[in-house]
Amino acid sequence: MESLYYTVEKQTTGIYKEKGSKFYSYLFPIINEIDVNPILSKLKKEHPQARHFCYAWKIGFEKGKHRINDDGEPSGTAGNPIFNQILSQKLSNVLIVVVRYFGGTLLGKSGLISAYKTSAKEAVKNAKKVLLEERIALRFDFDYHLLNEVMKILKKMKGEICKQTINQKVQIGFDTTKKEWEIYKEALSSLDIKINITV
């Protein structure tokens, strides 16, 4: 059975307090890794007195691409519990940042793990999840006389033509979901066309 993954519709926040420390959590939808640093910079400007900006993000399906950061907290006490919330909720294409204001009392390793986990959970709890479908980019190369047949199939598919060159030889770029491709690939593959797929 295919695993389902979700992203979030928009940014959400949460707050958790423990022994004087305040943990502000932020959950953001992201498209790729380059979205992360501008968000972190913005949060650092908004919270100039905060001690730690711990985070985790994940992009893609299955294990996908991900990163965790403890930002000065003891190793494994911040980034991992944040990331585990992403995994447990089947989220992807998201970034969770937890901003900590130190309250003067040390929480210990187990206390930190619990605090970062709970704080991340608060932001996730307030989010509206959206099904994330794996997309693929297709490129079709074929002779002009096949254009009508190819277009008939593409019109049935949920997707978007992103590039089109029509001469004696035709080249069409088409963006769709992996699920749609599975439905229509046999019909397209039966035609005398060259198909390139980028996941």
pLDDT at 9: 93
Enter the DSSP assignment of 1. Answer: -
* CATH class of the region 5-132: alpha beta
Residue 63's contacts (CB-CB under 8 Å, 6 or more residues apart) are none
Residue 138's contacts (CB-CB under 8 Å, 6 or more residues apart) are 173, 174, 175, 176, 181, 195, 196, 197, 198
Query: pLDDT for 7-32, tens place per residue?
Result: 999 999 999 999 999 999 999 999 88
Q: What is the mean pLDDT of the chain?
A: 92
Average confidence (pLDDT) over 58-87: 93
- What are the start and end residues of each CATH 3.30.230.30 domain in the chain? 5-132
Backbone phi, then psi, for 81, in 5-degree steps?
A: -65, -30
Instruction: Just give the CATH number of 135-198.
Output: 3.30.70.120
pLDDT at 3: 63
pLDDT at 148: 95
- What are the start and end residues of each CATH 3.30.70.120 domain in the chain? 135-198
Model confidence at 199, in pLDDT bands (50, 70, 90)? low
Of 32-36, 73-77, 195-199, the poorest mean pLDDT is in: 195-199
Model confidence at 73, in pLDDT bands (50, 70, 90)? very high
Average confidence (pLDDT) over 114-132: 94
Average confidence (pLDDT) over 182-189: 92
pLDDT at 2: 52
pLDDT at 104: 81
